[in-house]
Structure 1
Amino acid sequence: MDTAASAAQLPGHLAENVMHFARVLREAGLPVGTDRVQLTLQALQVAGLESRTDFKATLAACMIDRHEHRALFEQAFYIFWRDPDLLARIMAMMLPRAQAKPGAPPPPENRRLAAALFPNPPASARPQEEERIEIEAPLTWSEREVPRTRDFETMTAEEWAQAKQAITQMRGFFERLPTRRMVASHQAGRADWRASLRAMARQGGELWEMRRRRPREVAAPLVVLADISGSMSRYSRMLLHFTHALAGSRAAPKVESFVFGTRLTPITRLLRQRDPDLAVGAVARRVQDWSGGTRISACLHDFNRLWARRVLRSNATVLLITDGLEQGSPDDPQCLALSKEMERLAKSCRRLVWLNPLLRYDAFEPKAAGIRAMLPHVQALVPAHNLASLEALAAVLATKQPV
């Protein structure tokens, strides 16, 4: 049964509203395709419209398949199917907490949902310039600070573009490591007797200034391993933009990049394009497991066996971008294999830095078996959910001592 036949058997304009609701969820970032809409229309014929609870459960069962999408679905369902004043609800949701009623909890904020429902709000609904300045002045907000602290998962399309532009303007911060070669130094360092004698010969046998030298410093190599599974796809896309900016920096070393979900895929050549959007789009077309499942231990095993000796040096820094949600218990062979592969990876590089977007939660605890297996082998565990966390990551990469 196609979508048109399913829609014809529903009363009134219910089918049109369901399709419009699916379009709102899609614009807000949820993966709701045409197949989900057709499944929803068919399920409504079976489940019926006896109660609002059954109607909501049917939509949720057909349109979402991940627990992290539940909060956005709840907000969208409440606004779309219940509140008659949609515009007032959206504007109240976008106001700062200072204007909420005393004692009332602030409504959950999701700016992507607001942009999906009202991409072009009417001029009468837009706040006046004087009111905006009056609100922002005591809270010390600015247009640049909003995308810095905004979570990648809740960014609007406009904020997403601003964040990508800010990443391209970031300067490369790389750890500088000394080598055996020496270079001239105008500051304190070891005495360079050969250069001093040559200077004496040019100056008639007089030494006006002692020549000195110091070890030449080079940027530490960088290897990026990014998880592109379903729970990490939006964060990985932004972090690939960050990797592209690092690789394009003049002071950057050779950056080797890989993505993994159910399989490991090298993407170093794909990120060499100058346009970051074209580069990330080429990566999305190249890999076959984008937004799919995850097999962290198997992918790390493939990297250690096939790629570690090619691209990984003993002085390299490895950025592991994943949430660490591997299936199984701590005693399962899969988690034991993950711990073994992490130990091998940590011993093959100078330091291993783990970027985990789950650290955005204040109540985060390493209870998952995969996280507990990986955590003992990393030198740094940093968040990776907004621009501020990427700036903190740049500071971690710039430190010369292991962290």
Structure 2
Amino acid sequence: MPERARGAATAQRDVVDTVLGFARTLRHAGVAASPDRVEAMLSALGCLDVLDPGAVYWAGRLTLCAGPDDLDRYDAAFAAWFAGERPRAARPPGRPEVHLAASAPLDPGTGEGEDDGETPDLAVQASAAEVLRHRDVAQLTPAEREHLRRLFGLLVPAAPMRPSRRRRPSAQGAVHPARTVRRALRGGGEVSRLLHHRPQARPRRVVLLVDVSGSMAPYADALLRFAHAAVRARPGSTEVFTIGTRLTRVTREMRLRDTDRALAASGAAIPDWSGGTRLGEVLKVFLDRWGQRGTARGAVIVVCSDGWERGGTELLAEQMARLRRLAHAVVWVNPHKGRAGYEPLTGGMRAALPSVDHFVSGHSLAAFEELTGVLKDPRASHLSHARGGTPHGGRHPGKDPSHA
């Protein structure tokens, strides 16, 4: 294949990958961005200059957004994905133009066009954002941290659901005798159709226990931002506590809408920031004061910690087993698990893991996106699990079925 044609095909492939990645970011932000809308955006870009930020912005806004509710999310996603604010309509002077064909090929090495020798900036920026999603947050530069914060603002952690005693009309399920009889009476007393109902799902409580000790300092900001996203998504069914040498409830501070204000208020309320760690004692305080009274009962408990324990591990193992008996599921998030060759050899982790349903990493944005899937269905058997001797998603011995 001629060099010019090969270069044009590569540029087209870069733009297609960029649009597909942007659509995935939009879906994380809550915008549907269905495949037919993505195809419409690619067709629109085939008639526009892909180096013009304004053209890319309006092509996506007019094709990917389904209504007024999507506009703010689209603006935030565009700024985060392309690492900039909402663009102006004018194209910067002196920039070479690269046009897509009306139907951009997905396979490299096909298609026709002219090669200007330069990869579109939006593809470069999108590739950098994709790489950033998998970077360890403890190793980022200040500029990368700022970009990652915008991406964190797009996270919408899914809430686990549970059946309630309330029921709602449904096309399937148990027969609703009262509604069936009322309908028959309105029709002359003859039952012509059976009406059904089924239990109505309600959000299950999620409790996050975030370790803010000195060993977790590089990850505390990211963990609290994830906690704020969870509270923002389900403010009525999400609780946040910080753990270290003391237990601090920061749910009220996390309910502030602005993320930076919420983190600043939480930091002011935490007296043991970057201190030591007494996980066993703090968990006992949580269970005695909050968990046993109902906060942990039937909830999904997320413990975010590296497992370093200054006290005795026997107390930690005892309190974790107690927590497991109360909770619907226990998830442990350890940022060090994302490192190659990591093994949970610390005394705290060895004591805690027998009572943990899912052991996941929390070192990058991609890891937090995986965590949202764990929270959506914490009993799913295919998710990451590290409890020795207990099947994936299995019930812990001694678990009270009434709390499931």
TM-score grouping bracket, smaller chain normalisation: 0.5 to 0.7
Match of 2:334 in 1: 356
Match runs of 1:69-108 below 5 Å: none
Listed one character per residue, the Cα deviations across residues 188-236 of structure 1 (whole Å, up to 9, x for unaligned) are 2111121122223334445554311001111110111110011212312
* SS across alignment from 2:228: helix
Match of 1:288 in 2: 271
Match of 2:46 in 1: none
1:316, 1:350 within 8 Å by CA — same for their partners in 2? Answer: yes
1:169 aligns with 2:169: no
Task: Give the one of 303, 317, 336 matched to 1:339.
Answer: 317
Match runs of 1:291-310 below 5 Å: 291-310=274-293
Deviation at 1:400, TM superposition (A): 5.9
* Alpha-carbon separation, structure 2, partners of 1:131 and 1:288: 56
Deviation at 1:166, TM superposition (A): 2.3
Alignment gaps of 5+ in structure 1: 1-128, 329-333
Match of 1:190 in 2: 174
* Alpha-carbon separation, structure 2, partners of 1:388 and 1:298: 32
Aligned residues: 267
What letter corresponds to residue 305 of structure 1 in structure 2? D
Match of 2:144 in 1: 159
Indicate the structure (1 or 2) with the bigger Cα radius of gyration. Answer: 1
1:244, 1:271 within 8 Å by CA — same for their partners in 2? Answer: yes
Q: CA RMSD in A?
A: 2.6
* Alpha-carbon separation, structure 1, partners of 2:310 and 2:117: 50
Task: Give the one of 322, 340, 353 matched to 1:375.
Answer: 353
Deviation at 1:337, TM superposition (A): 1.2
Deviation at 1:180, TM superposition (A): 2.1
- Identical-pair percentage: 33
Deviation at 1:358, TM superposition (A): 0.9
2:157, 2:375 within 8 Å by CA — same for their partners in 1? Answer: no
* Alpha-carbon separation, structure 2, partners of 1:173 and 1:227: 22
What letter corresponds to residue 184 of structure 1 in structure 2? P
Match runs of 1:4-403 below 5 Å: 133=119, 142-186=127-171, 188-205=172-189, 207=191, 209-249=193-233, 251=234, 253-327=236-310, 334-399=312-377, 401=379, 403=393
2:297, 2:327 within 8 Å by CA — same for their partners in 1? Answer: yes
Listed one character per residue, the Cα deviations across residues 89-140 of structure 1 (whole Å, up to 9, x for unaligned) are xxxxxxxxxxxxxxxxxxxxxxxxxxxxxxxxxxxxxxxx988739998x99
1:256, 1:311 within 8 Å by CA — same for their partners in 2? Answer: no
Match of 1:80 in 2: none
Deviation at 1:163, TM superposition (A): 2.4
2:276, 2:310 within 8 Å by CA — same for their partners in 1? Answer: no
1:173, 1:394 within 8 Å by CA — same for their partners in 2? Answer: yes
* Alpha-carbon separation, structure 1, partners of 2:250 and 2:185: 54
Alignment gaps of 5+ in structure 2: 1-97, 99-115, 381-392, 394-404
* SS across alignment from 2:363: coil
What letter corresponds to residue 355 of structure 1 in structure 2? V
* SS across alignment from 1:248: helix
What letter corresponds to residue 293 of structure 1 in structure 2? G
* Alpha-carbon separation, structure 2, partners of 1:363 and 1:244: 31
* Alpha-carbon separation, structure 2, partners of 1:141 and 1:276: 24
Change (3 A) 1:174 1:194: same
Listed one character per residue, the Cα deviations across residues 324-361 of structure 1 (whole Å, up to 9, x for unaligned) are 01247xxxxx1111111111111121111000001011
Deviation at 1:154, TM superposition (A): 1.5
* Alpha-carbon separation, structure 2, partners of 1:159 and 1:140: 12
* SS across alignment from 1:323: coil
* SS across alignment from 1:217: strand
* Alpha-carbon separation, structure 2, partners of 1:354 and 1:131: 48
* SS across alignment from 2:340: coil
* Alpha-carbon separation, structure 2, partners of 1:133 and 1:325: 47
2:169, 2:198 within 8 Å by CA — same for their partners in 1? Answer: yes
Listed one character per residue, the Cα deviations across residues 288-343 of structure 1 (whole Å, up to 9, x for unaligned) are 21112211112112112222234524210100000001247xxxxx1111111111
1:224, 1:256 within 8 Å by CA — same for their partners in 2? Answer: yes
* SS across alignment from 1:359: helix
